[in-house]
């Protein structure tokens, strides 16, 4: 590596690129506090906007019709005192090709493209982010960190669907699991809080954001996930149904004349919390509405928590032992009510929350929200996917 210009901070840039958005965060090479972060939205449209947060201040810049390239260039133009040493990219689907993070070269690009049929909305957008960063920083190493990689340790009994085996052999139809970067990060943090080595720690982690998944982690390795071939399987989410009867598509097509693509879109974007409540996909909005007597908002929360607990009970089957249940993500970290309702369904497993610790989100008790009577500890552990990507990037470039 070259010597950095004096007066600059060596850093890594983390990029999470969507089809019309680009989220970024900058971390120092030494230290783990974010230096700058930002989000460019509605790219390609006249309303495109770039927001940058630095030193507690947020600036908003209109960048009409900006491309991903324009947005990243505009952001980098405001980072004059920073000296990037590498770029880490969030990649959604690595299929069976990637069991860990990798330095990106043309072979990696081609392999990610091959996985695009498994994540047609995400992988092509992620690749736009890589191409943009390569254009702007041709001299810097770029690293891909996959949402699926942490789950590549799932055994066959957990990842196979009970359909003809040839679909797995020929088309790689299987369960992959997602949110791996978050589950991995949270498992490392939890091991630290429990005072154990990660490879001696067995957990159920629940990432509950707008998307949601739970993961069984045995001795530091993912052994099952609620998500499957795509991020649609499993838990009830903001707008996604999670598990439904596989015969539902046929039934709806016969009864309503909807096309398969319309049914899939309905299950992905009009279902979940939004679908049941008819009000919102946002847990805060639903909690407020439920307090004010909105019955279907209350019902949506009830279904969300019950289905989560039911999935957690299923995941327990994957473990020999369990050191903790861990909540993370926007809902997992902030909704004492969701945690309490979910824990109430887990009493059979000896789960018992402490009301005060839970109300404070474990912040005064090292993450702990369970009572001293609880047979299994329960914790709230904030996730930080960007930091995990920065760590992985540094690990691979130095
Ligand atoms: P994420 O995708 O991780 O940003 O999480 C988004 C979800 O977290 C949304 O459903 C938010 O309503 C939810 N959330 C954030 N803060 C709270 C809160 N204080 N109480 C309940 N839900 C929250």
Q: Tell me how far the alpha carbon of residue 207 lies from the centroid of ligand 1, in angstroms.
A: 11
Mean of pLDDT over the chain: 96
Region 138-163: mean pLDDT is 98
Query: Is the CB of 283 inside a 6 Å radius of any atom of ligand 1?
Result: yes
pLDDT at 129: 95
- State mean pLDDT over 318-344: 98
Edge to edge, the sheet with strand 212-218 lists: 221-225, 212-218, 203-208, 324-328, 378-380
Choose one of 16, 335, 336 to mutate for the ligand 1 pocket test, by most ligand atoms within 8 angstroms of C-beta. Answer: 335
| Mean pLDDT, residues 11-19 | 95
Alpha helices in 152-232 (DSSP H): 156-159, 165-171, 180-194
Is residue 5 pLDDT above 80, yes or no?
A: no
- Of 3-7, 224-228, 343-347, the one with minimum mean pLDDT is 3-7
Quickly state the pLDDT bin for 359 (edges 50, 70, 90): very high
* pLDDT in the model for residue 1: 46
pLDDT per residue as tens digits for the range 165-224: 999 999 999 999 999 999 999 999 999 999 999 999 999 999 999 999 999 999 999 999
Instruction: Judge whether residue 60 has pLDDT over 80.
Output: yes
- 95-145 pLDDT, tens per residue? 999 999 999 999 999 999 999 998 888 999 999 999 999 999 999 999 999
Report whether residue 334 contacts ligand 1, using a CB cutoff of 6 Å: yes
Q: Are 76 and 131 in contact (CB under 8 A)?
A: no
> If you average pLDDT over residues 272-284, what whole number do you get?
98
User: What pLDDT score does 185 carry?
Assistant: 98
Flag whether pLDDT at 28 surpasses 70: yes
d(CA 181, CA 385): 6
- The pLDDT value recorded for residue 19 is 87
H or E stretch at 38 = strand 36-41
> Which domains occur in the chain, in start order?
9-146 (3.30.420.40), 197-385 (3.30.420.40)
- What CA–CA distances, in Å, run from 112 to 134, 151, 231, 314, 340? 16, 17, 17, 31, 40
Ligand 1 in contact with 335 (CB < 6 A)? yes
Q: What is the pLDDT of residue 6?
A: 60
Query: β-pairing, 36-41 with 203-208?
Result: unpaired
**Ligand 1 close to Cβ of residue 330 (< 6 A):** yes
């Amino acid at each position: 590596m070259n010597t950095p210009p004096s007066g600059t901070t060596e850093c890594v840039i983390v990029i999470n690129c969507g089809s019309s958005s680009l989220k970024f965060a900058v971390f120092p090479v030494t230290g783990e506090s974010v230096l700058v972060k930002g989000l460019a939205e509605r790219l390609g449209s006249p309303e495109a906007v770039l927001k940058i947060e630095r030193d507690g201040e947020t600036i908003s810049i209109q960048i009409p019709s900006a491309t991903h390239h324009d947005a990243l260039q505009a952001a980098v133009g405001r980072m004059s005192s920073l000296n990037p040493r590498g770029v880490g990219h969030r990649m959604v689907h690595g299929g069976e090709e990637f069991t860990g993070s990798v330095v990106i070269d043309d072979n990696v690009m081609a392999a990610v493209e091959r996985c695009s049929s498994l994540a047609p909305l995400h992988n092509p957008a992620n690749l736009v982010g890589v191409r943009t960063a390569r254009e702007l920083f041709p001299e810097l190493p770029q690293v891909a960190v996959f949402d699926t990689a942490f789950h590549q340790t799932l055994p066959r009994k957990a990842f196979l669907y009970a359909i003809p085996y040839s679909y797995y052999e020929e088309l790689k139809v299987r369960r992959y699991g997602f949110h791996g970067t978050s589950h991995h990060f949270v498992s490392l943090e939890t091991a630290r809080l429990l005072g154990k080595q990660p490879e001696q720690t067995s957990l159920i982690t629940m990432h509950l954001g707008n998307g949601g998944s739970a993961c069984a982690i045995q001795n530091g390795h993912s052994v099952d996930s609620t998500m499957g071939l795509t991020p649609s399987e499993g838990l009830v989410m903001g707008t996604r149904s999670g598990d439904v009867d596989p015969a539902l598509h046929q039934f709806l097509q016969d009864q309503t004349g909807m096309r398969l693509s319309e049914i899939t879109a309905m299950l992905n974007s009009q279902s979940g919390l939004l679908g049941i409540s008819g009000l919102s996909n946002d847990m805060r909005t639903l909690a407020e509405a439920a307090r004010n007597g909105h019955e279907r908002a209350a019902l949506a929360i009830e279904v969300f928590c019950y289905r989560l607990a039911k999935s957690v009970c299923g995941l327990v089957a994957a473990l020999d032992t369990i050191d903790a249940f861990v909540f993370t993500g926007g809902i997992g970290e902030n909704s004492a009510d969701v945690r309490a309702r979910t824990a109430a369904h887990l009493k059979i497993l000896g789960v018992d929350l402490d009301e005060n610790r839970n109300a404070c989100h474990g912040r005064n008790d090292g993450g702990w929200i369970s009572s001293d009577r609880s047979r299994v500890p329960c914790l709230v552990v904030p996730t930080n996917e960007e930091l995990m990507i920065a760590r992985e990037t540094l690990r691979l470039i130095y």
